[in-house]
Amino acid sequence: MRSRSLGLTAALLSAALLLTGCGGGDEKKEPKADPTVESAVPDTWPLTGEELPEGKSAARNHPVLVAKIDNTSSASPQVGLGKADLVFEEMVEGRMTRLAAFFYSQLPKEVGPVRSMRGTDIDIVSPVDGILVTSGAAPITKDRLARAGVTFIEEGAEGFRRDPSRSQTYSVMADLKVLGKSKKVDEVRPDDYFVFGAPEDLPAGKPAKAFDVDFGNHTTSWSFANGSYVNETSLAGQGDEFPATNVLVIRVKASYAGYEDLANNRVYDSKFHGKGKAQLFHGGQVIDATWRKDGPNGALTLQAGGAELKVPVGRTWVELLPEEGSVALKR
């Protein structure tokens, strides 16, 4: 039995060596990846879905810059909104609102008045690795942003200035061209903020020529005219208004941030991850929907009637509305 076992082992070893010799001793190599596959940068802007001229790329050597802009009467006139790609309106202290204006396709020389950050901004900027442009923040907020890996540039850096014609609190202005140069990155296009589509992709909605979005101590009023939504309560300078193709209302949970402002008003943070109800306003119609976003870095997805809801190409104003807020359609 032992001699038969040794003979069998020798035979198997010889066969293995023969096969190795036939293979030249090389391990099987994986086929080389085709460099043309999945390497092309989409020829659309990531925050609007708008097409670029043929041969142009949306990759830039600067990140998405997100300016925190005051949205009270003391901010008038707001500067730079006309060149923003995307705007979020979020609730802050006293149930007032503040804007997070996204700039990527254009970096204006002046935006403002620039104000402080909030914890809400983590969920807002993370999907595109946006860098916040801010006057500062409370220590508790800075700590939260640092732990979340969010980068910000605050007053004191080159590119900020004070406008002497404005009151002290509302005088911080920022030059995004200078700030963009200070944060140069490899030319990589950010991910799309929305799943973009065409108006004909939308399901049937109901008429919505005008509506109010009430945060509790601030109401933003919208009307539809000439193919876009007009912010009737905008504080932007004349000709510098944000041209909203879409208004997207996202219902979120807002909670006490753990501190008060200088006037002892509670500061609130909104939770822009998880899921909830939504409304998409486009073309004078409104579509009831639901939203989902898995964690701060997650992509936002919308559904209506059990199917994916795509945001029409164009500039979008997002109302990050607390659940206790209200939307009122006006006839």
CB neighbourhood size of 256 (10 A): 10
Residues 7 and 10: their CA atoms lie apart, in Å, by 5
pLDDT above 50 for 150:
yes
Task: Dig out the tokens for 187 from the structure.
Answer: 């030319």
Partners of 223 in the β-ladder:
210, 230
Task: Let me know the angle formed at the C-alpha of 197 by 282 and 65, rounded to the nearest 5 degrees.
Answer: 85
Alpha helices, H only, 195-252: none
pLDDT above 90 for 27:
no
163-205 pLDDT, tens digit each: 999 999 999 999 999 999 999 888 899 999 999 999 999 999 9
Domain boundaries, the chain: 65-258+265-330
Quick check: 234 and 221 in contact, CB under 8 A? Answer: no
Amino acid symbol at 71: N
Residues 7 and 13: their CA atoms lie apart, in Å, by 10
Mean pLDDT of all residues belonging to the chain: 90
Partners of 214 in the β-ladder:
219, 326
User: Residue 2 has what pLDDT?
Assistant: 37
Alpha helices, H only, the chain: 2-22, 120-125, 139-147, 176-182
Quickly state the pLDDT bin for 237 (edges 50, 70, 90). very high
65-258+265-330 adopts what CATH topology?
YerB-like fold (3.50.90)
pLDDT above 90 for 121:
yes
User: Residue 67 has what pLDDT?
Assistant: 98
User: Residue 40 has what pLDDT?
Assistant: 64
pLDDT above 60 for 24:
no
Quickly state the pLDDT bin for 11 (edges 50, 70, 90). very low
CB neighbourhood size of 277 (10 A): 14
User: Residue 299 has what pLDDT?
Assistant: 97
Cα distances from 193 to residues 44, 87, 202, in angstroms, run 12, 12, 18
* CA proximity to 183, closest of 161, 146, 157: 157
Quickly state the pLDDT bin for 41 (edges 50, 70, 90). low
Region of 147 please: left (phi>0), alpha (psi -120 to 50) or beta: alpha
